Structures are given as structure tokens and as C-alpha cells.
Amino acid sequence: MKLNFSLFLILFSFFTFAQINEKQLDELVQNTLKTFDVPGISVGIIKDGKVVYSKGHGLASLTTKQGMNDNTLVGIASNSKAFTAVALAILADEGKLNWDDKVTKHIPEFKMYDAYASQEVTVKDLITHRAGLGLGQGDLMFFPEGGTQTIADIVHNVRYLKPKNSFRNKMDYNNIMFIVAGEVITRISGLSWAEFIEQRIMKPVGMQQSFGSYNRAKHISNKIDAHAPVNGKAIQVPHDWNETANAAGGIMSNVTDMLTWADFLMNGFTTKDGKKLVSDKQIQQLWQIQMPSTVALKNPYDTQHYGYGLGWFISDVKGHKQVQHSGGLIGTVTLFTLIPDLKLGIVVLTNQQSGAAFNTITNAVKDAYLGLEDRNWLKTYDERMTKYFSEKEKEKKEIYAKAGAFGKNKNLHPKSEQFTGTYTDAWFGDVEIFEEEKKYRIFCKTSPRLKGELIPYSHNTFIAKWDDRSYDADAFLIFNYDENGKALSVQMKPISDITDFSFDFEDLDLKRKK
């Protein structure tokens, strides 16, 4: 959708240092909704302990037409990781664990692929993304929603994930280790992760409307439906989160409660009734960079230092410390930002998977309090994402055009008996490839929603075109044949890097089972 760019001349004129005009912020959010085709967004700002903005915009659901407000529950996704870290900090303060405890002290059966890492991996390693696993490695055990693997299965199957990196040598964002960390909390406390979070954190903090998991909020009517773009237009899609992964991203909350959370954190992790839930010693651990990452030499906030603490990304923006995390599921993304020395918190919750939307709003609000001039974030992100999606759509069309051309020459296609059958991966389980009504199909037994048509692409390669088109994660299947022309194994990889990293097809090592 084209924007009325004359609006940009006035859009940010309301920003003055530490002051934001409600009407103009409303206009910014409304234009963000339209530009990025997001049905609903809720935004909250807290400054110096006072809520200065808390409002929902648009629709919570395209189906029901229910409006979005600041009490509408949204899956905050990976913003849940901070709660896991705080839970561990509480247990550390109580003397029930140490950050340097070996994971095997609390989960004796825990193993990693590498024997040394198995013996040495600590609780802190689990939540700093440095245990050696690659970006999103193993996520297919719980993603997309509807998988059959339990927490016990996931903890066990970690041993089959061959690390992409050397132990403690590199930070690669990973959800599986947070699931293991959640199990540490359960083993120590005797409570499920969700129960611990609700009882020991949410209740004393005053987050009265939040839940530790989606299933625990099923009776609440004021919650979003998820939406994702399909064929260029946002549509409602099924809620996407597996209960096994709550410690990595399961919380349901709203702007009202997330502002309460922000106030608690910036007030020294102290509740409104004066109870300090986490000691200063532990706060230093949580909000200190544990694993540094590289920073672009030129960046919009003159950031010099960036990395992961315990459950948060830590950086500096224009000389101020920033504590931030995003969260993403299929059909919803969120962003939580704190600048503690300014006593500033910004919360943006959405029901469509557009990071450009939450960045537009967050950066505009942040700039106002940093005293920066208008930088036209809406225009910047619109142009950037339009170009990006155009390029990716062109790439995908070219791939399918090649498949279409190859498909016309049936003589080049492999015979059904050469590649159909059941293939298995040690940590993911069985994948069935079969013929049905003169078409080839793929079905993942431990992830039943991951199913689709197989389209011939070359003499040894097919494209998995998933039935659920909201995934935007079609993948190549590359078969390896023996000397008699029978497939022994298959490797997978996404056809486009637009695919969410949690579709970690490239980490599968599928061997023919029968």
C-alpha cells in the first residue's frame, strides 16, 4: 500500500525530548497498521514509573472483528525467556542452584552430542546461546505447533543434535536450551514452568491478567487470533505454540501487564509492595553481556557494544544502556524495550509477523525520548521491506518456474519405488514420502501439521510445498541414491532465506528406514 508521504512532514513533529503527543502517536500506529498489513497492535510506554500511553489499535481478530485494546492477550513468544532467567535468578538467590552448576546436577540424564560439553555445560550456558547449537537447531521438535514430542523427549534428543559451533565459542540463538533450563526449574521447584512463573513472578509483580502458557488462557475471550501474509494478504492462521516450549516462549500477556513488568524491572526488580524478588548480585548477571556479538560500524544508535545477557539482549543506544528482546511466532511478533537510566519502557505487541511494524513504533518512540530528530522510520522500513519481499518473491517464482519446466519431461523423473518410503532422523523421528492420487506427498510423523506435496525439481531433488501456506517455508528435498538408483538418505534445506530459522530443515539427517 502506498503511503501519503506528506504525512511524514508532520508525523514526527510531535516528538520533543521526553514528551509524546497521544494523538500523533495514534496516527503513527494507524499508519503502521495499514503499511504493513497488521490487523492489530497494542502499544505501551512507561516513563519515570508512570504509564504515559497504553492503547490497542485495530482488530484482535479478522474473523471475529473484535477490537484490540491494552488488555488483549498476545503470545509474547521469546520475551518469555526473560521470565525463565528471572526464575533461575530467584532459585540462585535461594541457594537452590548456582549459575555454574552443571546441568547434569539437576537433570542427571542430560547429554549433548559432544562428551565434553555433556559434562561441562552449565545452567548459565543454557540461557546464553553458547552451548554450541546452531541458530534454531532442534526447533522442529516443537515448531510448528502440534508436535508430538514431550519435554522429556526434547531433553533426551539434545544428545543427537550435532553442534554447529565449538562449545562456548559463539552465540547462536537457540530455543532448545531454554526448554532444558525450564526443566531445571521444574526439577528444583516441583512445579511446572508455567506454574512457577505465575506463582513466583507474575502474582507478586502484579501481572494479574497474564498466563504462563496459551492453554492456561484458553478461557479468556479477549485475546488475539494470529495472522500471517498469504499471497500478499494477511489472513487468520492457527495459534502457533507448543506447550513443551513454554520456557522459550509460551507466555500470554498484554500491554497493561507488560508495562507492570517493565516498571518492576526498572525499579530494581522490586514489586509495588516493596518486595525485592531478585538481588542486585543476580541483576548484574541478568543485565550484563555474557556473550558479545559484532556491531555494525555505522548504525542508527551509535551502538558500540551488543550481546546477550541472561534472557535479554544488552546494548547501548546513544550512550544509554538498552535492555531489549523480541518475540516471534507464526502470526504474531512482539518487542520489549527498556532504557533503565531514562526510566523508559516501550512495549509493542502485534498479531501479524511484521518486525518492521514493531521496529517502526519502538524506534520512533525511543528517538523522541533520546531527543533525536525525525528519521522517518515508517518510510525507511516500508521501502526496505517492499524491496526485500519483492526480491524474495522473484527468487521463489524462478525456482517454481524451473520446477514447472522440469515437471513437463516425465522421462527425467525418478521412479516412485526409488525414493518413496520412510526416512528417519535421530532427534526428529520419521518422515513418510509416498504417492497419493498420482502426486507425491510428505508427512512428518512427530510434526503432523508439517505435510505437503512433493514437486519434482531435478533428477534428485523435489520441493516440499507445505499445505499450510502461512509457513512460507517450502523446502528442497535432495535425495542421495545408491548404485542401483535407490535413495538411501535425504537432506533438506529451505528454498528461500525468508524462511523462519525455526524451520531448521538443514539440521535433519534423514536415513531410509524402509
Q: What CATH number does residue 488 fall under? A: 2.40.128.50
Same domain, 27 and 142: yes
**Angle 377-407/355-370 helices, nearest 10 degrees?**
160
- Would you call 323 helix, strand, or coil by DSSP? strand
Indicate whether 382 belongs to any domain.
Answer: no
Grid cell, residue 233, equals 494478504
Q: Exposed, middle or buried by CB within 10 Å (0-12, 13-18, 19+), for 154?
A: buried
Indicate whether 380 belongs to any domain.
Answer: no
Tell me the HSE value of 499 on the side-chain side, using a 13 A CA sphere.
25
Indicate whether 383 belongs to any domain.
Answer: no
Indicate whether 270 belongs to any domain.
Answer: yes
The pLDDT assigned to 295 comes to 93
Give the C-alpha separation, 180 to 187, whole Å. Answer: 10
Averaged pLDDT, groups of 10, the chain, 514 residues long: 33 42 93 97 98 97 96 97 98 98 98 95 98 96 93 98 94 97 98 98 98 94 95 88 92 98 98 96 97 94 97 98 96 97 98 96 96 92 95 96 92 90 98 95 97 96 96 97 95 96 96 89
Give the C-alpha separation, 301 to 374, whole Å. Answer: 14
β-sheet bridge partners, residue 477? 462, 492
The pLDDT assigned to 6 comes to 32
b/e sequence 371-406, b meaning 16+ C-beta within 10 Å: ebebebbbbebbeebeeeeeeeeeebeebbeebeeb
Same domain, 353 and 480: no
Indicate whether 366 belongs to any domain.
Answer: yes
| Predicted model pTM | 0.93
> Among 83, 36, 133, 117, which Cα is nearest to 502's?
133
Q: Which residues contact 341 (CB under 8 A, 6 or more apart)?
A: 320, 321
Tell me the HSE value of 125 on the side-chain side, using a 13 A CA sphere.
21
Tell me the HSE value of 150 on the side-chain side, using a 13 A CA sphere.
3
Same domain, 250 and 134: yes
Q: How many helices (H) does the chain have, and how many strands (E)?
A: 16, 20
Counted domains in the chain: 2
Same domain, 315 and 402: no
Helix residue ranges, H only, 121-228: 123-126, 151-157, 176-189, 193-196, 203-205
Same domain, 340 and 439: no
The pLDDT assigned to 413 comes to 86
Indicate whether 391 belongs to any domain.
Answer: no
Count other Cβ atoms within 10 Å, centred on residue 164. 15
Contact 18, 35 (CB under 8 A): no
- Would you call 127 helix, strand, or coil by DSSP? coil
Longest dimension (CA), the chain: 76
The domain in which residue 238 lies consists of 5-375
Same domain, 412 and 371: no
**Angle 176-189/81-93 helices, nearest 10 degrees?**
40
Give the C-alpha separation, 266 to 196, whole Å. Answer: 22
Q: Which residues contact 165 (CB under 8 A, 6 or more apart)?
A: 132, 133, 134, 172
Which letter does DSSP use for residue 270 in this model?
B
The pLDDT assigned to 242 comes to 82
Indicate whether 32 belongs to any domain.
Answer: yes
Grid cell, residue 299, equals 548504525
Same domain, 355 and 401: no
Same domain, 247 and 146: yes
* Residue with grid cell 537433570, as numbered in its chain: 107
* Structural domain ending residue among the three candidates 375, 408, 436: 375
Same domain, 148 and 182: yes
Tell me the HSE value of 96 on the side-chain side, using a 13 A CA sphere.
14
* Residue with grid cell 521526553, as numbered in its chain: 18
The pLDDT assigned to 374 comes to 83
Same domain, 277 and 150: yes
Indicate whether 62 belongs to any domain.
Answer: yes
> Among 451, 460, 453, which Cα is nearest to 438's?
453
Q: Which amino acid, 345?
A: G
Grid cell, residue 176, equals 532448545
Q: Which residues contact 115 (CB under 8 A, 6 or more apart)?
A: none
The pLDDT assigned to 340 comes to 98
CATH number at residue 232: 3.40.710.10
Same domain, 253 and 310: yes
Contact 55, 315 (CB under 8 A): no
Same domain, 235 and 332: yes
